[in-house]
């Protein structure tokens, strides 16, 4: 799957966002090394600590289905700008490898590609424990 198509999956995932407080829909789509795509959206809660970001929703769905290896994750929020993963999501992404590509974008043709090291330099991950 190309990165533009993965971003379109993230844009579709935005439609399911539960955002009664922020009114800011975010969608994510994670591509596993087995070739499957899992989508997630942000899910808010009146107790803000119970809120979950789209990126973690997508990753946790994949992990709950037995996936542990990821190629890429795409994130789409406000389509007039680029929406980046928050710090907690960046830490969750690095948990599954430093080679995961991160795509942020506005459309299938308008996106940016990053590595986790670019977005979370000097990270701490399971690889560092070896």
Q: What is the count of structural domains for the chain?
A: 1
**pTM for the predicted model, two decimal places:** 0.94
Go through 99-115 and write b for each residue having 16 or more CB atoms within 10 A of its CB, e for each that does not.
Answer: ebbbbbbbeeeebeeee
Distances (CA, A) of 123 to 22, 52, 91, 116: 29, 21, 8, 9
CATH number at residue 19: 3.40.140.10
Which residues form the catalytic set?
Answer: 55
Give the model confidence (pLDDT) of 86-100 as tens digits: 999 999 999 998 899
Per the CB < 8 A criterion, the answer to whether 55 and 41 are in contact is: no
pLDDT of residue 126: 75
Q: Which domain, by its residues, includes 83?
A: 3-129
Task: Look at residue 23 and tell me whether its pLDDT is greater than 80.
Answer: yes
Looking at residues 63-79, what average pLDDT do you find? 97
Distance, in Å, from the CA atom of 85 to the CA atom of 26, rounded to the nearest integer, reads 10
């Amino acid at each position: 799957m190309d990165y533009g198509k993965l971003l379109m999956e993230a844009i579709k995932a935005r439609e399911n966002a539960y955002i009664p407080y922020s009114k800011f829909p975010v969608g994510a789509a994670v591509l596993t090394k087995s070739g499957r795509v899992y989508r997630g959206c942000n899910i808010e809660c009146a107790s803000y600590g119970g809120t979950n970001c789209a990126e973690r929703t997508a990753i946790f769905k994949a992990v709950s289905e037995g996936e542990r290896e990821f190629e890429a994750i795409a994130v789409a929020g406000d389509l007039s700008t680029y929406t980046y993963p928050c710090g907690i999501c960046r830490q969750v992404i690095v948990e599954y490898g430093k080679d995961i590509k991160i795509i942020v974008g506005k459309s299938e043709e308008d996106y940016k590609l990053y590595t986790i090291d670019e977005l979370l330099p000097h990270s701490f991950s399971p690889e560092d424990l070896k």
